[in-house]
Chains A and B, each alone.
Chain A
Amino acid sequence: QKEVEQNSGPLSVPEGAIASLNCTYSDRGSQSFFWYRQYSGKSPELIMSIYSNGDKEDGRFTAQLNKASQYVSLLIRDSQPSDSATYLCAVKPSTGANSKLTFGKGITLSVRP
């Protein structure tokens, strides 16, 4: 069973701080990695995708991928109360259309004003 682990949480940070969310995965051959944000009572929405080792930045969000260590992380700079949500890590084994996207259980982030 290929797994995606998000074990830390819930996470609480003060407004303006950096929030660091971590995720590990078991399938060494995984190719595609996604971070989704889910507000309470809402459906998941994509905030970042990353496919290569290293960092990818988009505004206040940075995704970091290390395939050798099998982890992917999400950094949120200058955290805002509106960032308070559950963040889901999702991993796809290959780029094929038949490849299954597997989600972690999520980390709940609370940003304190």
Chain B
Amino acid sequence: EAGVAQSPRYKIIEKRQSVAFWCNPISGHATLYWYQQILGQGPKLLIQFQNNGVVDDSQLPKDRFSAERLKGVDSTLKIQPAKLEDSAVYLCASSSYGNSPLHFGNGTRLTVT
């Protein structure tokens, strides 16, 4: 089965610019996650979707971050405007049912200068 697809792999932008990341989960996986991983730290959940509904976005900085999952499949995560502290790897993951493990994509490494 194909894995979780993410693009782009790398992105370099200046502060105050905007950026968008795309994720395509494993076919049939109802739950989709966006995690932020800062160097030397564990992944931090930004937002969790169940089909196309938001389950948890308590740690999403909503003044600058937004995410959507149209039709319960693909998802995009946007940052506008970016800050230096947003430099991190953004990981998308999906899972098939409540207790199943997460499968991660390769991530997008964002550098904000």
Interface residues of A (CB under 8 A from B): 4, 6, 31-32, 34, 42-46, 49, 51, 88, 92, 95-106
A65 to B54 alpha-carbon distance, docked (Å): 31
- Asked whether, in the complex, the Cβ of A103 is within 8 Å of the Cβ of B101, the reply is no
Residue of B nearest to A108 (CB): B40
Give chain B's interface residue range (CB within 8 Å of chain A).
20 to 34
- Asked whether, in the complex, the Cβ of B101 is within 8 Å of the Cβ of A100, the reply is no
Interface residues of B (CB under 8 A from A): 30-31, 33, 35, 40-45, 48, 50, 55-56, 91, 97-99, 101-107
Residues of B within 8 A of A95 (CB): 98-99
Q: Is the interface of A mostly helix, strand, loop or mixed?
A: loop
- Asked whether, in the complex, the Cβ of B42 is within 8 Å of the Cβ of A104, the reply is yes
Closest chain-B Cβ to A8's Cβ sits at a distance in Å of 15
- Asked whether, in the complex, the Cβ of B45 is within 8 Å of the Cβ of A97, the reply is no
- Asked whether, in the complex, the Cβ of B101 is within 8 Å of the Cβ of A97, the reply is no
A92 to B102 alpha-carbon distance, docked (Å): 11
Residue of B nearest to A49 (CB): B101
Contacting A100 at CB < 8 Å: which of B45, B91, B106?
B45
